Amino acid sequence: MCYKNISIIGLGYVGLPLAMAFAEKGIRVIGIDKNSSKVKMLKRGKSYVEDISDVELVRNLEYFYPTTNYSTLSTVETAIICVPTPLSKTKDPDISYIITAANEIAKYLHPGMLIVLESTTYPGTTEEVLKDIFKKNGLEVGKDFWLAFSPERIDPGNKKFNVKNTPKIVGGVTKDCTERAIRLYEIICEKVVPVSSATAAEVVKLLENVFRAINIGLVNEFAQLCHRMGLDVWEIIDAASTKPFGFMPFYPGPGIGGHCIPVDPLYLSWKAKLFDFRTRFIELADEINSKMPEYVVYRIFEVLNGIGKSIKGSRILVLGVSYKKDVGDVRESPNLKVITLLLEKGAEVIYNDPYVPEFYHFEVHWHSQELTIRLLKEVDCVLILTAHSLYDWELITKNSNLVLDTRNAGNGILNVIRSKNIHKL
């Protein structure tokens, strides 16, 4: 089958880079997103995703057509779903965006169409939920249309790995579905890795992020132990990393963020309960990682108390609100919880983030403050939550009254600038 027209539903951190990769190959891509403001920006050649520059977007507008109109699905051979899959307040899977997209596709489903789900979800979603939605049209999967799962593996801000050179996992509902999906992704990916089923592909993605969440939970707990023992956890990790086998470094921080690591393991944990199985490692890691913002606030209490100050009434400058360095993504950012906890303790909180000029949190419109020497000298404490490469760590530390560094900022430059006013996680 020759793919000439495809549609990508959801034009965020996953969907937009995927759309650009296909458009670069001369494939006509109809990008569908319900956010009309984003669609208008894209049509003007303005990208809101850091990994896609305005220049790249404009270059691909010849083949890329952003819209809010689902009826365009009637003109494509393939529909790829890249919508969000958050957790509910009770930490149960919320696949409502997937179901909405699938119902829209079902209206325009036609013989020969391939549908691929990329949104991370619990095992069985593709075969147990999507297949039933599409069967209502009277078409048979694997014969009249094809259905597969291919987990997104986007790492926002990663300059080394992208859609093209990251191996692509694919698993279809039938063998023919897998083959169709392989042929699709071979257009843009250097390596495509087939697995036995759509469910297997769903679990692959979950395992990848369970691995990360558990190891981050381990090192976050280890950081707390090292603090109790008067040790520098980053020194310990760096020394352990010199072992050429049997060790992989993970680093502590104020918690875990982004759309994958805080969410994906809990999708698997939820599904496991249906098999009367308890995922104890996942639950423990989630407990430790979820409480890291509280530990950060406890450390703020300690360092302020050390100079005779209380959190209540103190002016605290937060550096970085995005969940990782050099991106503007605040989804599931633990930094926002830290800010909330500080406000609840009576602190006055302001922030600077060169990648997040403004954001909304608990119905408050926050604005990034200009990072000046005067501001650094005025605040009671500088709290480093995201170690963006743009920050001048020497300038910051030399002009701050008190610093709590949760990220080993500047790869340890604070170790060089020895000062009693600099504290680590």
User: Over the stretch 22-42, which tens digit does the pLDDT of each residue have?
Assistant: 999 999 999 999 999 999 999
Instruction: Answer yes or no: 177 catalytic.
Output: no
- Residue 78: other Cβ atoms inside 10 A: 24
pLDDT at 238: 94
The residue written with tokens 């920050």 in the block is 391
Beta bridge partners of 111: none
Q: How many angstroms separate the CA atoms of 352 and 392, rounded?
A: 13
Same domain? 269 vs 161: no
Asked if the structure places residue 201 within a domain, the reply is: no
Specify whether 123 is located in the same domain as 262: no
Q: What is the pLDDT of residue 76?
A: 96
Exposure letters 14-41 (e unless 16+ CB within 10 A, then b): bbbbbbbbbbbeebbbbbbbbeeebbeb
Counting as low any pLDDT under 70, the low residues of the chain are 1-2, 410-420
- pTM here? 0.91
Burial 227-263 (b: 16+ CB within 10 A, else e): beeeebbbebbeeeeeeeeeeeebbbbbbbbbbbbbb
- pLDDT for the residue 412: 58
350 with 260, same domain: the answer is yes
The pLDDT, as a whole number, for residue 155 is 85
Q: Given 82, 226, 260, 381, which residue is catalytic?
A: 260
| Co-location of 296 and 358 in the same domain | yes
Structural domain total, the chain: 2
354 plus 324 within the same structural domain: yes
Q: For residue 58, what are the domain limits? A: 5-196
User: Residue 158 has what pLDDT?
Assistant: 85
Co-location of 9 and 51 in the same domain: yes
* Among 196, 226, 253, residue at a domain's last position: 196
